[in-house]
Amino acid sequence: MRNFISVDDVQDLETLVKSALALKKNPYNYKHLGKDKTLGLIFLNPSLRTRLSTQKAAINLGMNVIVMNMDKEGWALETQDGVVMNHNTVEHIREAAAVMGQYCDIIGVRSFPKLVDKEEDYSEDFFNKFIKYANVPIISLESATLHPLQSFADIITIEETKTKPRPKVVLTWAPHIKALPQAVANSFAEWMNKADVEFVITHPKGYELAQKFSGKAPIVYNQDEALKNADYIYVKNWSSYEDYGKVVSMDSNWMLTNEKLKLTNNAKVMHCLPVRRGIELADEILDGENSLVIHEAANRVWSAQAILKEILEKNF
């Protein structure tokens, strides 16, 4: 593995999950791997979990870490080629990424979509250019369309807690007051489609994900129907892909409650966080014993550490 942008960068998912679980048991076994190596973490958007867990993972491997909040501390970046930069952008990604590549051995980047132009966001232009010009391994800390470190932590969490070989996992849309990216849902779908689970997606009409990511997963428009016998429910809001970036429903009936849990096989409830209580998820769920949200967040360390370990082993 050179870059970690999507599940397609993973050669063997089962082996990678085992590697993460082994690191969880013995976090400091590979401290020699990161000696004198620098990880740069570049954020163009806010973060709590990704920032802290990836730093912790790198420290466990003996790496040095540099963090830059590019949106607040860096020059405004130009990404278009051939433009005369006589407006607000100060530095071109060609130079900025190339310079960062001189200081760092591996770079993690977070860059959310603008949710205005579907083609621009789904081309992953920013990430592709960053990979091209930085010339060092790149890890996605969440791109316009995917959040692979989150999905990897989610699959680790399911592996650790499942009570049957092939659990039923339901990805459900949840209401929200803002238009959010599709990245977490896209990513969860593409990882679940490669995992040994029965995977179902439920959302109101108009929230269909890009088929490239939802794959052959059945889409059930009736949430109660989808939740029947579920072992895991993955709760997430996303804005419309079809009517790009728009909020086409805010139906509060889609918020998961303890009443809805009665339809399930005592399902465990997952959410990547941050979560808006009382809108996306009921307090009674988040504070109840079925919630796995803190467990998932804790596993972000081991997903990041397994990826960093793999990149360090294969590229240096």
* Contact residues for ligand CP, defined by CB under 6 A: 47-50, 142, 150, 272-274
Q: At its nearest, how many Å lie between ligand CP and the CB of residue 17?
A: 19
As a whole number of Å, the end-to-end CA separation of the chain is 12
Nearer to ligand CP, 47 or 265 (CB): 47
Nearer to ligand CP, 78 or 190 (CB): 190
Q: At its nearest, how many Å lie between ligand CP and the CB of residue 141?
A: 7
**Residue 309 one-letter amino acid:** K
Nearer to ligand CP, 226 or 301 (CB): 301
Q: At its nearest, how many Å lie between ligand CP and the CB of residue 253?
A: 25
**Beta strands of the chain (E only): which ranges?**
38-43, 64-69, 77-78, 91-92, 106-110, 138-140, 168-173, 198-202, 219-220, 232-236, 268-270
Q: Which residues, 6 or more positions from 39, have their beta carbon under 8 angstroms from its beta carbon?
A: 54, 58, 63, 64, 65, 66, 104, 105, 106, 107, 108, 308
H or E element at residue 212: helix 211-214
Phi, psi of 5 (to 5 degrees): -120, -30
Nearer to ligand CP, 60 or 299 (CB): 299
Q: At its nearest, how many Å lie between ligand CP and the CB of residue 28?
A: 24
Nearer to ligand CP, 143 or 223 (CB): 143
Nearer to ligand CP, 136 or 153 (CB): 153
Nearer to ligand CP, 49 or 203 (CB): 49
Q: At its nearest, how many Å lie between ligand CP and the CB of residue 104?
A: 19
Alpha carbons 292 and 156: distance in angstroms, whole number: 12
Q: At its nearest, how many Å lie between ligand CP and the CB of residue 47?
A: 3
3-state secondary structure of 279: coil
Q: At its nearest, how many Å lie between ligand CP and the CB of residue 154?
A: 10
Contact yes or no for 111/47 (Cβ under 8 A) = no
Alpha carbons 159 and 220: distance in angstroms, whole number: 25
**Residue 215 one-letter amino acid:** G
Q: Which residues, 6 or more positions from 17, have their beta carbon under 8 angstroms from its beta carbon?
A: 152, 155, 156, 159
